């Protein structure tokens, strides 16, 4: 049997009741779509002014990559917080949940927002596993 487009897209609007340990109770959260995640990534990236990489040879060293970038720390922090709060708001915005404003989300304790982001990422298919962390190359 071939899966239908409607069945694939249904999951985005199908919230799940998720236990939030830091609240001691459950909330209805929905996964975010690829488009929603792209919008949030774009908001976060606004703190990055410019980033350049050049691969070139210097003397005997071949394939050396030189990178430089400009980062507005204040803007990156503000945009990171905005994207975090919007991610939570988007996930809570579902048929089984209550409506939340960005101001209300901004008033939550950090442990609650951290846990909500972790759960939303898992629902949206973007969680990082321990195996992936273990495979990440380290500086030598």
Mean residue pLDDT of the chain comes to 85
Q: How far apart are CA 84 and CA 113, in angstroms?
A: 8
| Confidence band for 127, pLDDT divided at 50, 70 and 90 | confident
Phi, psi of 128 (to 5 degrees): -100, 130
Angle at 29 between CA 26 and CA 34, to 5 degrees: 155
What does the pLDDT read at residue 13?
A: 76
Q: How far apart are CA 38 and CA 61, in angstroms?
A: 37
C-alpha pair distances (Å), 47 with each of 18, 26, 66, 70: 32, 34, 21, 9
Q: How far apart are CA 118 and CA 42, in angstroms?
A: 19
Tens digit of each residue's pLDDT (9 = 90 or more) over 77-123: 999 999 999 999 999 998 898 999 999 999 999 999 999 999 999 99
DSSP 101: -
What does the pLDDT read at residue 140?
A: 53
């Amino acid at each position: 049997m071939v899966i239908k487009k409607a069945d694939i897209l249904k999951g985005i609007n199908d919230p799940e009741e998720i236990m939030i340990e830091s609240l001691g109770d459950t909330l209805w959260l929905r996964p975010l779509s690829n488009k929603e995640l792209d919008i949030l990534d774009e908001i976060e990236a606004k703190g990055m002014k410019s980033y350049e990489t050049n691969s070139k040879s210097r003397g005997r060293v071949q394939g050396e990559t030189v990178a430089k970038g400009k980062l507005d720390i204040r803007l990156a922090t503000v945009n990171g917080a905005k994207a975090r709060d919007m991610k939570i708001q988007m996930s809570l915005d579902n048929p089984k949940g209550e409506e939340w404003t960005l101001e209300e989300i901004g008033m939550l304790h950090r442990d609650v927002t951290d846990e909500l982001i972790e759960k939303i990422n898992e629902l949206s298919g973007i969680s990082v596993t321990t195996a992936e962390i273990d495979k990440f190359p380290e500086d030598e």
